[in-house]
Amino acid sequence: MKVGTSLTIVLQKKATRKENVKYRSKVIDRTNGELLIDYPVDPTLYANLPIKPNDRISIEYISKGSVNTFTTTVKRIVQSPLLSFVISIPEEDKIERIQRREYVRVMFDVDTAIHSLDHSFTPFTTVTRDISGGGMLIITPPNVALKEGEKVKTYLVLKSKTTDYKYIKTKAEIIRTMVENKITFTSLKFHFDNERERQQLIEFCFAVQREDLKRQIY
């Protein structure tokens, strides 16, 4: 696990909760068999995690196309220069690899270009209605007919108020087409060859989500 790796911190659910609470964080240092973790934030509440030494937590992170998870104990809280906490670097046999089945989906207009792999249609540009690390929903132009199961190449331009421009290219699969209020939408599932680019997209979605939460608060 490298410095800068994005993490999801999972608290064991309490008797009064129906679901586990998840917080976003990242690795900010690695030394002497320990990881220094940035103090986590709840992405839905934009609130800090009430964490204490000796608390048991689960940590998830993406590596090589899958989610890795392990359970650990908070060793200590660090107050300076940044509020953070320390855990031991887990042994390899303590890390479980699971497939990622859900991603944060945000309502956001991302400029995108769609190209056919077999030249069955003319390339076109459009915008997304929503997007996640797993796929997107695009507005389909009136003169375009996309077939379910068809493979395409997509070009995404990622830019929000708090992020710099990023350009991502990936293959995708047409899942289905629907009509809503006389507007045609098509959902696509991403097939990334480079999981680093999927991670960039996931981080972009979380940045957009944080921007939305700040607007709601202020």
Provide the residue ranges of all domains of the chain, joining segments of one domain with +.
6-98, 106-217
What pLDDT does residue 157 have? 97
CA 150 to mean position of chain CA atoms: 25
106-217 matches 6-98 in CATH topology: no
What pLDDT does residue 42 have? 59
Q: How far from 11 is each of 36, 97, 123, CA to CA, in Å?
A: 18, 19, 46
Residue ranges in the chain modelled with pLDDT below 70: 11-21, 41-49, 64-66, 98-102, 213-218
What pLDDT does residue 122 have? 94
**What is the pTM assigned to this prediction?**
0.57
Overall fold of domain 6-98 = Pnp Oxidase; Chain A (2.30.110)
Overall fold of domain 106-217 = Thrombin, subunit H (2.40.10)
What pLDDT does residue 17 have? 44
